[in-house]
Structure 1
Amino acid sequence: MSQTKTQARMPPVPTRLRQIALVASDLERAAHLLTTVIGTEVIYRDPLVEQWGLRNILVPIGGDVIEVVSPFMPDTTAGRLLSKRGDGGYMVIMQTEDAAARRDYVQSNKLAKVIFNHESEDFVCIQYHPKGIKGGIIPELDSHSFSPTNPTPLQTRFSPWHACGPLTTYPKYAAGMKRHSALHLLSATCRLAPGDADVEGAARQWEDVFGVVRGRREGESGFVNAGLGFVAGVRGESGGLVEVGVGVEGNVALCGILERAERMGVLGGDGAVEMLGVRWKFVLFEEEDVKSRL
């Protein structure tokens, strides 16, 4: 029987945190919360996810995306997560330059199990099983093809993104992204499983498996646009996404978000917002930050 030959270590490469997916029991309530508090909008509902018993919404944070999925059929992964821990994190979706090459490397070295693989002329989409991957969340690593109309898919802030619809609809959803260009996805934080305090090991694993370079701080993965931090597991608490950080241009816009959060009853005493099982940290995004990030 032939065996897949292992490959030499594949070095880390520039990678973008393009999308964070949450799971919620009430999709329309989730849409109302996100659009009202953050002041964003729903730019797409993907009919294709219905084949997995899900419905979804996608809202832009500048050129990046927050997705919410909600099951309408029994026996779905999202439904089991809801039953286990309620609304909360579901997936971290990353963008690299060559997701297929990374998949081949991961499989040949048995670093993670591929659970979904789709390739088209425009993009490659690969989901990995979360078992054995620190962070308690489903990782997905995708890439878009280079083309004359999309010469720098990773570096261009409002570049096409397959989750937001077919390429023919790009002008429509890109306009939606640009309407919310004052918002910037800055960070996500995942808690490890109970008893696991090896946050640096988590960052090292995401570098070795998915090619995300380690960040400047211990237990952090560094994307070109954001950071993914890991915190130690807590007894009695499931691992998974616990916080999302969003930068907001302008003090007036930031105060507006916090005021709307207070009216909706989701503003905590420490200034953080609690929505959909996740803590949201909104911070002022300074002019020098705008120049240095996507």
Structure 2
Amino acid sequence: MPQNMMPPRPTRLRQIALVAEDLEQATRLLTTVIGTEVVFRDPLVEQWGLRNILLPIGGDLIEVVSPLKSNTTAGRLLSKRGNGGYMIIMQTEDALARRDCLESNKLAKVIFTHDNEDSVCIQYHPKGIKGGIIPELDAHIPSSTNSNPIHERFSPWHACGSSSTYPAYSDSMKRHSHLHLMSATCRLSPANEDIEGAAEQWENIFGVKRGKVSGENEFTNANLQFIPGKSGEHEGLVEVCIGVEGKARL
């Protein structure tokens, strides 16, 4: 680990964002195949030229965004790669301290920060970050009603709306408690086969400890895996694994 860097800390894979040209088609596909439901549509994302849906995977989430216009990050990504991965959104205890550390060491560039009374959201520029996906590292402030935000499976999550909406979306999460976010797999850029270097970078920058096998990071609830780059294939998210508890639900 480089000098002056923070050590790995418990980090949860709380949300994976996908980008799709046809949001309603993606909604029908994911709710039918996975057997989940739309828990929230965030009107605030329209300020970035987007529409979205959030789907509960137990206490974690799959988000799908779709651009309303072409001159957006999501629109440019669609033009370049087509439907696929957009963001990996992580939850930690010390997002602000890690942001300060990363900025002081010039290891990552913040592109968006949003604070409110009980949470902080920090997005980083993907340039130089292995895996070809936008990383976001967020935190919820522990409270008397949310004492262990990372480890409590159905804890509040800012992306689902204000605290007043928690009773509704937590009920939806619990209705889908048989679903588990297991892993995400990212391909490196063409000719890059250093999967262990990618895992080391995510450990050093975002505090997600390396796993037991090469090219893997361990969240508290899931794994992040890297695979070597391949000629003719874009880097980025290639697979999301969702576990289903109970044979009757398969």
How does the TM-score come out when normalised to structure 1?
A: 0.84
Give the 5 Å matches for 1:1-294. Answer: 8-254=4-250
Contact 1:70 1:78 in 2 (8 A): yes
**Percent of pairs with identical residues:** 71
Deviations, residues 167-202 of structure 1 (Å, cap 9, x unaligned)? 110000000000000000000000000010000000
* Contact 1:62-1:177 within 8 A present in 2 as well: yes
Specify the structure having the higher radius of gyration (Cα).
1
1:8 & 1:191 partners in 2: Cα distance?
Answer: 29
- Inter-partner Cα distance in structure 1 for 2:133 and 2:92: 18
Give how far 1:227 is off.
Answer: 0.1
User: In 2, Cα distance between the equivalents of 1:119 and 1:41?
Assistant: 28
Instruction: In structure 2, list runs of 5 or more residues that go unmatched.
Output: none
Query: Match of 1:247, SS?
Result: strand
- Residues in 2 aligned to 1:74 and 1:88: alpha-carbon distance in whole angstroms: 16
Contact preservation (8 Å) 1:7, 1:109: no
Contact 1:7 1:108 in 2 (8 A): no
Give the aligned length: 249
What are the ranges of 5 or more consecutive residues in structure 1 without an aligned counterpart? 1-5, 255-294
Which runs of at least 4 in structure 1 moved beyond 6 Å after TM superposition?
none
1: CA distance between counterparts of 2:7 and 2:193?
A: 25
RMSD: 1.0
CA distance in structure 1 between the aligned counterparts of 2:97 and 2:115, rounded to whole angstroms = 12
| 1:252 Cα offset (Å) | 2.0
TM-score (norm 2): 0.98
